[in-house]
Structure 1
Amino acid sequence: MPSSDQLSELLDPVATVLLTVECQQGVVGPDSALPELAEAARSSGALANVARLVAAARAGGVQVIHALAERRPDGRGANRNARLFRAAERLPVQQLAGSAAVRVADPIEVREEDIVVRRLHGLSPIQGTDVDALLRNLGCRTLVVAGVSANVAIPNAVFDAVNRGYTAVVPTDAIAGVPCAYTPAMVRHTLALVATLTTTEQAVAAFRRDRRLRPV
């Protein structure tokens, strides 16, 4: 992991964005369509750590983007080309546009200055969405990725970020997947090869330090 000085330099608030991935009620909330994943996100502390990152990023002048996945009630435009999509169609909780399921879950707080991006298709919060254009318009060079799941959306986001020239930073205690043992293995053998790994505590400290260093 990088030193505190290296991380503070990497997380320059002028060029950093925090991306929360699928931290929505229908995924990690009490009435989740995926209760095992929701339990993993909550019991591991990952969801609480995402909330800490959001608050610290916002206080430190770092833009926050919430990436949410949803579908139309009629399913138009949604993928059906993988088992995951077909299984999701049969779940008792649907991520329907406009429903409570696609609202950002507690304890994460959404503020007016945050940007919320919703997608109707695919596995990635970046590919085929507005996120890449928004990042470029925001002057982003470093993308901090947090949320769920470590099985699919998180690695997709990291790969897409790196392929587009961003430096990806992953607070490893602010992501979750199933089974729980899979997440550290995926981090060690996959994300460690392409992303800068850190912890929530280190990232929060870097956000605070950057705030102190900025002129007032």
Structure 2
Amino acid sequence: MSSRERLSELLDPAVTVLLTVECQQGVVGPDSALPELARQVRSSGALANVARLVAAAHDSGVQVIHAIAERRPDGRGAGRNARLFRAAERLPVQQLSGTTAVRVAPPIEVTEQDFVVRRLHGLSPIQGTDVDPLLRNLGCRTVIVTGVSANVAIPNAVFDAVNRGYTAVVPTDAIAGVPADYTPVMIRHTLALVATLATTEEVLGCLRRPVAR
């Protein structure tokens, strides 16, 4: 079986879910709390590729889940057991529940069929959230992981998906981290060991198959 045939088999729309990770305005938008990351995800084309994948998923009947990281205005329930959490408290843009910062960022489109899963704690979009139960109830076997950041949340999502028995597919040009040269190294030496890697075009080629669902 060729790599294309293998990818096509994995991306059967009936058992595939596309997960976008922290593609929210306060992270990847023009007024990001993390401007270096926002510039990288846009200049690299990763955000545009996420939007293309989401559009193709909508057209092909693949379920989309958007994983959003946020916090209450009073900070209750948020972790402080990592430098990242404490640094986030001091950022000029806060990912506060109900604000523009925690809306999915353009050009990604959200439809009524999508799930938007919000977490108030932790580093992973899967661990301790509704994502895993939703995946199981949807009959998911393959999770396409996209978004940010390649530094923390993306590897967390891949590891958690694999640990729970799902196959992770990562479109390598639809994720981003900082600095720019870190992402390909992390992909080559970490994600390649546990996930199926592909390009956005390769994934799109599989999602665009005519499917009745």
Q: Give the TM-score of the pair, scaled to structure 1.
A: 0.97
Q: CA deviation at 1:215?
A: 5.2
Instruction: Verify: 1:122 aligned to 2:122, yes or no.
Output: yes
1:158 aligns with 158
Q: Secondary structure at the match of 1:151?
A: coil
Q: Secondary structure at the match of 2:17?
A: strand
Q: Secondary structure at the match of 2:197?
A: strand
Output the amino acid matched with 1:148: V
1:66 aligns with 66
Output the amino acid matched with 1:88: A
Output the amino acid matched with 1:188: R
Q: Equivalents in 1 of 2:8, 2:60: separation in Å?
A: 11
Q: CA deviation at 1:4?
A: 2.1
Q: CA deviation at 1:6?
A: 1.6
- Equivalenced residues, count: 212
1:73-106 CA distance string (max 9 Å, x none): 0000000000000000000000000000000001
Q: Secondary structure at the match of 2:127?
A: coil
Q: Equivalents in 2 of 1:146, 1:14: separation in Å?
A: 19
Q: Secondary structure at the match of 1:146?
A: strand
1:41 aligns with 41
Q: Equivalents in 1 of 2:8, 2:125: separation in Å?
A: 25
Moved over 6 A (4+): none
Output the amino acid matched with 1:13: P
Q: Equivalents in 2 of 1:82, 1:10: separation in Å?
A: 36
1:79 aligns with 79
Q: Give the TM-score of the pair, scaled to structure 2.
A: 0.98
1:146 aligns with 146
Output the amino acid matched with 1:63: Q
Q: Equivalents in 2 of 1:27, 1:168: separation in Å?
A: 23
1:47-94 CA distance string (max 9 Å, x none): 000000000011111000000000000000000000000000000000
How much identity, in percent, do the aligned residues show?
A: 81
CA 5–94 in structure 1, closer or farther in 2 if over 3 Å, else same: same
1:97-142 CA distance string (max 9 Å, x none): 0000000001000011000000000000000000000000000000
Instruction: Verify: 1:27 aligned to 2:27, yes or no.
Output: yes
What is the correspondence of 1:8-19 to structure 2 with a 5 Å cutoff? 8-19=8-19
Q: Equivalents in 2 of 1:187, 1:76: separation in Å?
A: 34
2:104 aligns with 104
Q: Secondary structure at the match of 1:190?
A: helix
Deviates more, 1:190-199 or 1:2-11: 2-11
RMSD: 0.9
- Which 5+ residue runs of structure 1 have no aligned equivalent? none
Q: CA deviation at 1:26?
A: 0.1
1:23-62 CA distance string (max 9 Å, x none): 0000000000000000000000000000000000111110
